[in-house]
Structure formats: structure tokens, C-alpha cells
Structure 1
């Protein structure tokens, strides 16, 4: 049976009126674990972690509304004006586009539960994402791998092992197999090897999508993990800790050893980036685009490397690989963006050279055709 979050305990942490909180608890009890998607139908349920994120996001939104002067009597009272006000608040607070979109997703699920499916729109319906710097990008612009930040992963993990061997072995699993953090927590080393060639990743995956990753010659890491595995669950989360307690401890240990953006400039997620970048290079024969090399793979080799990276990462769309690898030509694109917009004289010359063809003129200027139109309109 799928796990259901104790929503009552979570809602209780927020300063919401008793009657309002009771209504919200009833809604969450009925729906909190349901998948909400406009593009797919699934009988799966959300993980407890995602249920908790959904619950806390909704509670926080209602608390913000009350502080803003909106005394909603129940969650059923949510209106379009409330959503618009929240988006304006989040933009003013300089929250990222991705963060705001996630919050809108949770509100959209709630609107479905209360019979108002068209109530919550996408971020672009409320603000100009480009103007406010909220355009979400799935293309990496900075290399998050540890090697790119001059961190010796083996040495740092050995140092962490002196504090906690469990955290260290989970980091080793991330290095060896490109696992997400929670996947490294919940991997059951004694069960995961299904064949001599692959490792089955089944627990803690995003969206519940199981996958197989190449085992290669990395059995030693699994043997070490097996020696530390919990006799009850089979994972490397110690028996005396809940998953939440372990997550808190894991990040405490990393912070203690400087493995944070504010410390060494890296997180443990950077180990996953490193694994996938190396996989791309192994298959294609050239470094990943994020490495800044001028070498480019042949089309067939590039396509096969992207396919392998997406499969190993546990994604379904090819474009998701760009979040780890970036794209060729990124350096030139960023340089164009940093440049001052072309002057009126430069625009006129480009149009003259292109015999009035706006697409060719825009390409020569290194801008989009839409940007060219904006410059012409502003002149």
C-alpha cells in the first residue's frame, strides 16, 4: 500500500484558523498523493517527499494570503485575484521562475480538487517571464561537476567517511552510478544487481520511473554499501533514523565538510553531473559541451550519447540531458547576450547588406528576428 503523508501534523505547523485548517486537511487527506498532470494519466501516487512539498507549499501560500489581508474562510474560497496577488508577491521577492512555476503547479492541483480546474494558469499568463528574468532554462550554463570546481571527489569522500561512513558510501554510489541523492539513500545493494551488466534503480526515483544503469566494474562500491545496509529495509539508511531524519543528518555532514554552494561551491548533486558528463564523453568520443571544448561529435555519435545519458539519468525526454551537458554553441550565445544591443546604424547597415531580409539581418547581428523587430519599433 502506498505511503500517505500525515497531513494533519504538517498543517498544524502553520498559523491557519482552525476551521480553515480542518477544511484543508480534508482536501489533502483525499487528494495529496494523487498525480496531477495535464499531459499524462497515471495510477501511480506521489512520493511522501513530494506530498510534503505540496502540502507545505499550499499552507505557506494561504498564510501569505492572510498576511496580505485576504481572510479566506476556506480553501474553497480561492479566487483568481488571490493567485495573481501571490504571483506578484513571489516575483517581488525575486523567487526563481522554476520555484514559482512549482508553486503554481501545487495550486493548480488544489484548484482541480475544489472544482475550479481553470483557475490557475501558467506563470507566463501573469507576468512577462523574459522581462522579469523568470524564463526557465533546461540548458546548463555552468559546470556543476566537482572536477570543474577543483574538488578531488575521492579525497573529500574519504574525509567525510571519518565523520560518517554511511554518508560517504552514499556519495560513492552517486559517483559510481549517477544516482540522485534519495536514490543513493534507498538503493538496496543486495537486491539491485539484476544481471552482470546492469544495476536496477527502483527506489527513490523521480516520478517512480525505474531504470537500469551500467554496472561496469564497480562491484566494490556495492559490496561496501551491502556491509552497511540496514537488515530490515536493505538500504543504507541506518535503522535508528527515519528517512527525514537521515536526510537532515546527510546535509548536516556535507555542510560540516564544506560541500555546499556557499562553501566549496558544489553540492552532492554535482557528482551526478560528473557521471553523466563522463558517460557522454565515453560514448561520443568528445567532452560534453559544458566543458567548453571546440571538439564536436559526429551527429550519430552525439545522438547515441544523448540517448544513453537520458536513459542513465532516468529521464524520458532527450532535452533533459542538456541540464547536465549543456549545448554546443553556448559560449557564443552567452557572449551575444552580454553584448550591448546593436545601434540603429548597425541595424540599418545589416538590413542594407541583407537586401531587406530581416531574418538574415538578425542572424548577422547575432540577435533573434523578434529582437530585431523590437529595435526597429523602438527607433
Structure 2
């Protein structure tokens, strides 16, 4: 099975309000695929899987905030009280140190995106949360580690794409729109990188 990691589809699958998801998507659009290493001043490309993990962690955080009685109207409305609440929740849940450290990395990146650097001290690594990087951690972004406490990442699969195409009578564009992604991502999930006719003989897709 060919699984395609696409942060747009992760946003689509979120249960947050549609207006909030639209604002979130606009916010991350030109930021999600690169990360600045503050030590060297260089920008690094962020792999698609890490992009999806970051989006999943952030949207789950905003979902937790709403469940806790906080209702930031847009992602730009993030405040210190929100981050303090999230840290308190992570502490109460007894998450492993590495799990907390990973969440902090994603939220630090987000705070930089919205240019609220004054919130960074709240997201600092406390001594008990500092953990050595394992060989599974991706550098320099350091955003992906094996952690089963993180939210699952929705991925595009052939079955999901075929269901959308069936619903939209074979229209590739409409299926992609319904999934919140691009026609290129839909084709990749459908064909696994092979030529369309070779992957699924006889299938006609309307653009």
C-alpha cells in the first residue's frame, strides 16, 4: 500500500472548526516545509512525514485547548495561558520526558511562525525533560522520534482516494478538493508513483 504524507490532508481530518482550519492552513502554508537552525542560521528542508507530525501535534494541542474551555478564534490568538495549560496537562498525564520534549519542539516552531518569541521561555526544556537524541531522531530539525503517545498521522492511501473519486464521479480535481490536498498527491497515492494506466488499467479520471 502506498501511503502519502500530506500536511493538508492532516488538517482536513482534524475535528476543529472549518474556519479555524482554514486560518491554520494559510498560516503554515509557506512555513511548514523548512526549519531554521538557530545555531547555524541555515534553513533545512523538513520531510513530509515530519511536516505531518508537526501539524498533527499542533492541531491536537488546539483541540485539547478547546476541550479545556479555551476557544482561540484563530491560531494567531495563541497566548501564554494556553501554553501553560498544555504543559500542565502533559505533566498531569505523566507523559515520558521524550514525549514532552518533542511536543515542545513543535510548539517552539509554531511560536516562531506567529512571531510571538516572548512565549519561547514557556516552551524551554526543563532539566527533567532533556533527553539525548536517539538514532531515530532526524537532525537538524529534530522533529521526528518514535513516540506512541503522539497523535496518529492521517495518510492518503489508494483506498481513501478511490472512495473520493467514486463519490465525485472520477473527477480528480473534485476528489483532491474534498480531501483538502492537491491532484499531484492524490495521483501519487493512487498510483504509487507508477504511470496511471499501468497502476490501474482501464481507469478513467476526469481532471
Shorter-chain TM band = 0.5 to 0.7
The separation in 2 between residues aligned to 1:105 and 1:41, in whole angstroms, is: 17
1:68 correspondence with 2:68: yes
The match for 2:12 is: 12
Distance 1:108 1:63, change over 3 A: same
Q: Does 1:136 align with 2:130?
A: yes
- In 2, the alpha carbon distance for the partners of 1:25 and 1:104 equals 20
Q: Is this contact kept in 2: 1:83–1:120, CA < 8 A? A: no
Secondary structure at the residue paired with 1:35? strand
Residue 32 of structure 1 contacts residue 51 of structure 1 at CA under 8 Å; is this kept in 2?
yes
Counterpart residue number, 1:93 = 93
CA shift in 2, pair 1:105/1:138, >3 Å: closer
The residue correspondences of 1:1-379 to structure 2 (distance < 5 A) are 6-121=6-121, 122-124=124-126, 129=127, 134-138=128-132, 206-207=138-139
Structure 1 runs of 4+ with >6 Å offset: none
TM-score, structure 1 as length reference: 0.33
Aligned CA RMSD, in angstroms, stands at 2.9
Count of matched residue pairs: 139
Query: Which entry has the higher C-alpha Rg, 1 or 2?
Result: 1
Question: RCO greater where, 1 or 2, for CA within 8 Å and sep 6 or more?
Answer: 2
Q: Distance in 2 between matches of 1:78 and 1:34?
A: 22
Unaligned runs of 5+ in 1: 141-179, 182-204, 209-239, 243-379
SS of aligned partner of 1:32: coil
CA contact (8 A) 2:11 2:21 kept: yes
SS in structure 2 opposite 1:15? Answer: coil
- Alignment partner, residue 150 of structure 1: none
Q: Please list the CA deviations of residues 17-60 of structure 1 after superposition, one character each: whole Å capped at 9, or x if unmatched.
A: 11111010011111011214332322321111111111111111
CA contact (8 A) 1:58 1:107 kept: yes
TM, length-normalised to structure 2: 0.59
Post-superposition shift, 1:241?
5.3
Aligned to 1:197: none
Deviates more, 1:52-61 or 1:7-16: 7-16
1:7/1:55 contact within 8 Å kept: yes
